Amino acid sequence: MSYDIIVIGSGPGGYVAAIRAAQLGKKVAIVEKAELGGICLNWGCIPTKALLKSAQVFKYLNHAEDFGINLPSDISFEFGNVVSRSRGVADRMSKGVQFLMKKNKIEVIQGEAKILSGKKVKVTAADGSVSELSSENIIIATGARSRELPALPQDGKKVIGYRGALAMEKQPKSMIVVGSGAIGVEFAHFYNTLGTEVTIVEFLPRIVNVEDEDISKQLQLSLKKSGIKILTNSEVTGVDTSGDLVKATIKTAKGEEIIEAEVVLSAVGVVPNTENIGLEEVGIATERGKIVINDFCETSVKGYYAIGDVVKGADLAHLASAQGILCVEHIAGEKVEPIDYGNIPGCTYCSPEIASVGLTEAQAKEAGYEVKVGKFPFSANGKAVANGAADGFVKVVFDAKYGEWLGCHMIGDGVTEMIAEAVVARKLETTAHEIMKSVHAHPTMAEAIMEAVEDAYGHAIHI
């Protein structure tokens, strides 16, 4: 069986690459060992958002009186139904990918793939049967999995990863979340909102450490206000799962303490799925477990490409999709520009949400820029106050010399829908003057972007 392009992995990098290749007239096969859509659609981005929506609705109902609405005081939920809805959403999206494969005449081959020299792929099906495929171009999009720490081995019951957190049979009364990146704080928010007693343990000095420091401080205040206990500069050095409760030994700045909980969620990041897929045999270069690629996602061996979580950079679904399109268009001979990795937005869907793009204030200063910084609080934004979502702010960072928009950082209700303005503006090399003179609709939360820019240049009206 011979193809123009074989894609290994059907996550948001792989299936998008396959579709774009088919649109360009290529004969395409995609190899997937599990569900179409990969981790993102089935066990990551999509089902977590479904859980978070249920938590948001529950939170709204419990605060209905704040909006002048009287509801019974005994509002409850069925945890199993919440999880079931989430799984249903994931299943629907996976079936959507199945439809797109058929629509674009992409051959889907179920099985575990291993690349071979000579641009070949060996596929081992679930029944043990083996087939060999050949192609002029092979795209590796095998994604990543939950990272396991030596001191925190996952047993799938009392110590779990993100997959376990998505499909628990019953809601735990208490939970320790190890790690405060996007996965950690999203699950901490979800379970805390439904009534689980949650403790976050973070090794670094602050939570969501990749974000601007002001964002981290605001989120920590918000999470603590909601009842979540947060231990920074702390490390889980061991767990005892022999009893009814897990006993986690935690090394803190003040000394060692033991915390008990029904379950421990390990949310310390992911590791790329690059083992046992034939990289060494083919001679493809790797660095710290990730595949080395050039500006067009080609590996060190001609004809073999890699995208998504298996290559260097942020582990983000939208970045994987962009890489998939880029490398396929490059293969097809299209004129393409390398991806600007400095303009990839990041979003975290806890409450309040976080969205950011570009340099933080500290990074801009470290890079030698003289900066102008502006902030606008949602407490001064009419739409945010009317929505009952006045927590948070928009922060912008500009180069004082030339007016380049270096970074935009937001925390608040719905900011993940707002960040696109900053991404597009930065792509178009828009200046602060152009943002200030672009009339923003009123009342909208997006006005806060314009007002933050105005604040950076001393033109703020509403603060």
Q: Which positions are annotated as active-site residues?
A: 442
How far is residue 67 from each of residues 56, 64, 388, 391, 416, measured CA to CA in Å? 15, 5, 8, 16, 24
Q: Are 184 and 232 in contact (CB under 8 A)?
A: no
415 is in an annotated binding site: no
**89, two tokens:** 């959403």
Q: Which residues contact 416 (CB under 8 A, 6 or more apart)?
A: 347, 348, 349, 353, 354, 355
Q: Is 259 annotated among the ligand-binding residues?
A: no
Is residue 181 marked as binding?
yes
3-state secondary structure 367-402: CCCCEEEEEEEHHHCHHHHHCCCCCCEEEEEEECCC
333 annotated binding-site participant = no
**202 annotated to a ligand binding site:** yes
295 is in an annotated binding site: no
The two beta strands, 130-140 and 304-306, are parallel
Q: Both tokens of residue 357?
A: 């793009």
Ranges of H-type helices in 194-336: 213-225, 279-282, 317-331
Q: Is 25 annotated as a binding residue?
A: no
The answer to the question of whether 213 is labelled as a binding residue is: no
442: left (phi over 0), alpha (psi -120 to 50) or beta: beta
Provide, for the chain, the percentages of residues in helix, strand and coil under a 3-state DSSP scheme, each rounded to the nearest 5: 35, 25, 40
Is 49 part of any known ligand binding site?
Answer: yes
Sign for the CA dihedral angle at 321, 326, 332, 334 comes to: positive
Is 184 marked as binding a ligand? yes
Output Rg (C-alpha) for the chain, integer angstroms: 24
Q: Point out the annotated binding site.
A: 49, 179-186, 202, 269, 309
- Residues comprising the binding site for NAD(+)? 179-186, 202, 269
List binding-site positions for FAD: 49, 309
